[in-house]
Structure formats: C-alpha cells, structure tokens
Amino acid sequence: MKVIVAVFLHVCIVSFCFAVDLRSSHAKLAFLDVGQGDAILLITKEGRTILFDAGPDRNILKELPQQLPVFQKRIDLIFLTHPHADHLDGLLALLQSYSVGGVVFTGVLYDSSNYQLLKKELRAKNIPMFIARYDEDFELAENVLVDVLFPFDSLEDKNFKNVNNSSLVAMLHVNDFTCLLSGDAEKELESLLVKYYAKDLEADCLKAGHHGSKTSSTWPFLQSVQPQETFVSVGRDNKYGHPNHDTICHLQIWGAVKRTDNDGTIVRFLLQ
C-alpha cells in the first residue's frame, strides 16, 4: 500500500506563495539548461517549488532566477536521483544562495567528497533528509504528486556497481498530466521497471535516462512508456558524445524530442 507523504506539513515549514499570478490554474515545468547534467524545476500554481537534481555546477544559479518569481530564494523540496556530480554538485552551490525545505535521495553508498559534503551541509543547516522508496508518494500541492517507482526497497548505505542504476525513478502527476523522470537509469534498471510495472509506466512525457546515451531508452522500455514527448538534458559538444544518434531516432518514433543543448531551457505550462 502506498504511503502518501504530505511534504510541507511533515517539514513543518510554511512557504510564501510567490506565484506571479495567484489566479493562475497552471503549474510550470522547466527542464533547465545547466550543461551536461540534469535539473528540472516544477513550480505549482500555489507557488511551491520542487527541483529534481541540480546540475553539475553553479549554472543552476543562473537558471533558477530566470524561472522563479523575483526575490524568491527558496526551494521547497529537492529530489536527488543519484550522487553523480552532474546531478549533485549544483546543489552545493544552491545551498549557499537558497533556503531548502527538504531533500529526498536514495542514501546509496558512493565514494565522493562532494556527496559527503552535501550530507554534512544538510545536517548543519537542519534541512530534513528523506530516504526514497517506492511505497511512498509525495503530495506536493493540489493535484500534484510525485509517485516514487524506484528504489523498490531502501538503498541506504548499499553499494551499487553502477550508481546510475540506483537512480530514483518517479512519475510526476500534475492533474491528468504525467511525466516519467528516470534520472540516469540504464538498460538494467529499465528492464526491472518494465518487469515490475509494465504498462503502468505509460506517461505523457519522458525525461530520457542518462542524457540520451546508448545505454538507456531501450525499445522494451519505450514500448511501456509510450511517450508523446521526450526531454533530453544534455550539454553542448560534451565529451561523452551524448545523446546517441540511434537513441534519438528511437525516441522520435514515439513523439517529439526536445534537447537542452539545441533548445536551451524547455518550459511547459500544465493545467493543475
């Protein structure tokens, strides 16, 4: 049975609603152009702010002010999919400039000085940390829910040979809209998700795993998700050769593909 976590009551912090238009009935979803990394921002119609990963560096501090209302210096909740630098390091910069209501992560073991520094900073600032698992959902606002699909069990203090496959995978629900956020999930994790969820993975849009690499977005996975639109967070002329040409071709069979290296920050307004 799923456990619904009312995040903002649990954290016991009341945020100001900084929505530009308080009468608005739309949430804003932005795939931020932070270079070779992931950072996805959701602003609910009430003005609550949720961030999925924070990119590789201080670029996050350039992108957030372009999407947030003037003078807003708070992120209510952050989901860290896994502790690789291109998802985590921007969070260290963010903590110096923004207040944060809480951080959700898997707790997986990873030998990284910045990962240890992040946890130290969160403790020092008394920022609540939540360990993600699939039987908990996060109710973020009216008609806004993050449904954790993976990890199946707590990964706290567990080792992974490939940390990409420890990625927190979640289905974002905004009213009737769904977006599958897959972190850096590669084919091994995609296969587990297909086996466990099958057609329950179907979503309106997909955040492509691992920056559109050849190790992700396998055909069986795409058959389950059936995305009408896919977003690829990737840096221009990156040294990894992301995204993979064949992967992009497979994604285009299902629908439109938008890339931050070509399109910059990509914004969608969603009826909430």
For the domain 3-271, what is the CATH code?
3.60.15.10
pLDDT at 149: 98
Cα 53 off chain centre by: 5
Q: Which of 84, 102, 12, 98 minimizes the C-alpha distance to 240?
A: 84
- Average pLDDT score, the chain: 93
pLDDT in tens, 22-67: 448 999 999 999 999 999 999 999 999 999 999 999 999 999 999 9
What is the pLDDT at residue 16?
40
pLDDT for residue 169: 98
pLDDT of residue 1: 53
Measured CA to CA in angstroms, residue 165 lies from 46, 87, 145, 237 at distances of 34, 14, 23, 25
Q: What does pTM read for this prediction?
A: 0.91
pLDDT of residue 135: 83
pLDDT of residue 2: 58
CA proximity to 218, closest of 238, 247, 240: 247
Amino acid letter, 44: T
Pairing of strands 177-181, 169-174: antiparallel
d(CA 255, CA 151): 28
The HSE-up count of residue 159 (CA atoms within 13 Å, CB side) is 2
- Strand partners of residue 143: none
Domain ranges across the chain: 3-271
DSSP string, 66-106: HHSPTT--EESEEE-----HHHHHHHHHHHTTSEES-EEE-
Residue 54 to residue 11: CA distance in whole angstroms: 21
| Sign of the C-alpha dihedral computed for residues 71, 61, 26 and 262 taken in this order | positive
Which residues fall within 8 angstroms of residue 78, CB to CB, at 6 or more apart? 50, 51, 52, 54, 91, 100, 102, 103, 104
CA angle 186, 192, 194 (to 5 degrees): 100
Q: Which residues of the chain have pLDDT under 70?
A: 1-23
Residue closest to 131 by CA, chosen among 167, 155, 99, 115: 155
